Amino acid sequence: MFNKLTSSQINESLVGINRQYLVGHLQLPQILEHIDDSNIEIGVTDYKNYTVEKTHKHKVAYECQYMISGETKYLDVDTRDEFLYREGDFYRIVPDTAYAQKALPGTTILFIKTPPGNDKIIIDSDDFIEKWSEQWEVDI
């Protein structure tokens, strides 16, 4: 059996929002009629504006991400190391890694999460994270 979501369906579902799940056994309603699967979650994040995500970690989920376009930066909350990812890069975030994330306008990311489920734990931001979130320094 084959399942298909067209580019127009996906693009239409991202109007007015920045995240759309394509595959998963989802508990919350969403715009796109996704492909049901209890083994994995796959989706697209589309940052139309400069965006800072809430600082968090996942208890058990691995996150694999492929940069379709743009640039995003992550801050490892524990080590204070910063990681920059650009179009074409692929990366993985292991469970229990606390991080902050910010993205430039025009950044689109394909994400894969396994095991599926909402295991996100919000982390309180401190002054360092707040300051880091407010600026985008350009690499030369």
Query: Partners of 110 in the beta sheet?
Result: 44, 66
In a domain, 91, yes or no: yes
139 occurs within a structural domain: no
Residue 2 lies in a domain: no
The parent domain of residue 41 ranges over 7-134
Q: Is residue 1 part of a domain?
A: no
Helix (H/G/I), strand (E/B), else coil: 12: helix
Q: Is residue 140 part of a domain?
A: no
Mean pLDDT for 89-94 is 98
Is the overall model pTM greater than 0.75, yes or no?
A: yes
List pLDDT tens digits, range 15-31: 999 999 999 999 888 89
Mean pLDDT of 73-92: 98
| Domain contains 115 | yes
CB 125 within 8 A of CB 55: yes
Q: What is the CATH number of the domain that holds 27?
A: 2.60.120.10
Dist. CA 41–CA 36, nearest whole Å: 9
Number of structural domains, the chain? 1
Q: Is residue 98 part of a domain?
A: yes
Dihedral through CA 29, CA 46, CA 99, CA 79, nearest 10? Answer: 170
3-state secondary structure of 8: helix
- Distance CA(29)–CA(32), nearest Å, equals 9
Helix (H, G, I), strand (E, B) or coil at 46: strand
Does some domain include residue 92? yes
